[in-house]
């Protein structure tokens, strides 16, 4: 009986010692070892988190940079627009102060030269070219009324010699504003390829297509200088 008690006591002591050894191996701060897969997953998560933080920081910095850059660009653009407007105003001021050469007539900041002799359309344009100009190119109703007040039949720089029915100005620009007489242009006889500005009560219906070989005076135009061609007979 006593021997059994001693054996049980020994077994209890041995069991107690093993429990203490096991408990000591599980000291605070020490846990079971992680598998390599878990460690790799944790490191990848940390790296991904850091990368997200860096990307977010970069986006914030870039947005602030571009916002500042856009504001600076807008300021510069507004400054350039202001300079452009000043230059335009100065340009118109210079035109308004322009003094026309002797023998030329001023109208709406342009100078016009009216010939004293008659020539056909081609000779008139050639004379204008020699003066560094072109036959008149009419861009407004006011300009057309001014030419009508000259009270002469005038060559203008309008022709369809290159392509029948396709009227263009001598500087190569297309016809956008028209002051044709009623039923004109009609290319009567198939030979009317040049335009004149006749003398009419209504200056808004005054152009007529006629043969280019007819004799007219002319009106020169060169950026700010214009040349007209006319005929003594109204």
**CATH number of the domain where residue 140 is located:** 3.10.100.10
- Decide if 20 is inside a domain: no
**Number of folded domains that form the chain:** 1
- The mean predicted confidence, pLDDT, of the chain is 76
What single string gives the DSSP state of each residue in 166-227? --EETTSPBP-S--BPTT----GGG---EEEE---SSTTS-EEEE-TTS-BBEEEEETTEEE
In whole angstroms, give the CA distance from residue 184 to residue 192.
10
Is residue 227 one of the residues assigned to a domain?
Answer: yes
The tokens for 39 are 């460690």
| Positive or negative: CA dihedral 187, 151, 118, 166 | negative
pLDDT value, residue 139: 87
Answer whether 113's CB lies under 8 Å from 154's CB: no
Q: What are the backbone angles phi and psi of residue 217, rounded to the nearest 5°?
A: -75, 175
Predicted TM-score (pTM) of this structure? 0.54
CA 74 to chain centre: 16
Q: Please state whether the peptide bond connecting residue 43 to the residue before it is cis, i.e. omega within 30 degrees of 0.
A: no
Looking at the predicted structure, is the pLDDT value of residue 224 above 50?
Answer: no
Residue 222 within a domain: yes
- Provide the b/e sequence for 28-48 (b: ≥16 CB within 10 Å): eeeeeeeeeeeeeeeeeeeee
Residue corresponding to tokens 């297309």: 174
The domain in which residue 227 lies consists of 105-231
pLDDT in tens, 12-53: 555 545 555 554 444 454 555 667 767 777 777 888 888 888
Cα-only R_g, the chain: 48
Distance CA 137, CA 125 (A): 12
Q: Is residue 85 part of a domain?
A: no
- Let me know if residue 77 belongs to a domain: no
First to last CA, the chain: 158
Confirm whether 37 is domain-assigned. no
Average pLDDT over residues 61-66: 84
**46 occurs within a structural domain:** no
User: Helix (H, G, I), strand (E, B), or coil: what is residue 92?
Assistant: helix
Answer whether residue 185 is part of any domain.
Answer: yes
Q: Is the dihedral of CA 72, 74, 80, 85 positive or negative?
A: negative
Across 44-63, average pLDDT: 85
Which H or E run contains 44? helix 36-96
pLDDT of residue 217: 67
How would residue 99 be classed by pLDDT, with cut points 50, 70 and 90? low
């Amino acid at each position: 009986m006593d021997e059994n008690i001693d054996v049980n006591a020994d077994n209890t002591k041995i069991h107690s010692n093993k429990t203490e050894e096991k408990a000591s191996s599980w000291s605070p701060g020490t846990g079971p070892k992680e598998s390599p897969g878990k460690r790799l997953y944790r490191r990848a998560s940390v790296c991904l988190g850091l990368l997200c933080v860096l990307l977010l920081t970069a986006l914030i910095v870039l947005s602030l940079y571009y916002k500042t850059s856009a504001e600076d660009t807008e300021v510069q653009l507004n400054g350039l627009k202001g300079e452009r407007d000043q230059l335009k105003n100065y340009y118109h001021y210079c035109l308004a102060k322009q003094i026309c050469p002797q023998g030329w007539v001023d109208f709406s900041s342009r100078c016009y030269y009216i010939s004293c002799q008659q020539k056909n359309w081609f000779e008139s344009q050639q004379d204008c070219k020699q003066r560094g100009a072109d036959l008149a190119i009419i861009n407004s109703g006011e300009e057309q009324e001014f030419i009508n007040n000259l009270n002469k039949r005038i060559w203008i720089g309008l022709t369809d010699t290159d392509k029948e029915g396709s009227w263009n100005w001598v500087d190569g620009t297309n016809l956008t504003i028209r002051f044709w007489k009623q039923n004109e242009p009609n290319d009567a006889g198939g030979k009317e390829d040049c335009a004149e500005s006749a003398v009419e009560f209504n200056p808004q219906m005054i152009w007529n297509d006629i043969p280019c070989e007819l004799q007219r005076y002319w009106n020169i135009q060169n950026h700010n200088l214009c040349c007209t061609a006319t005929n003594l007979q109204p």
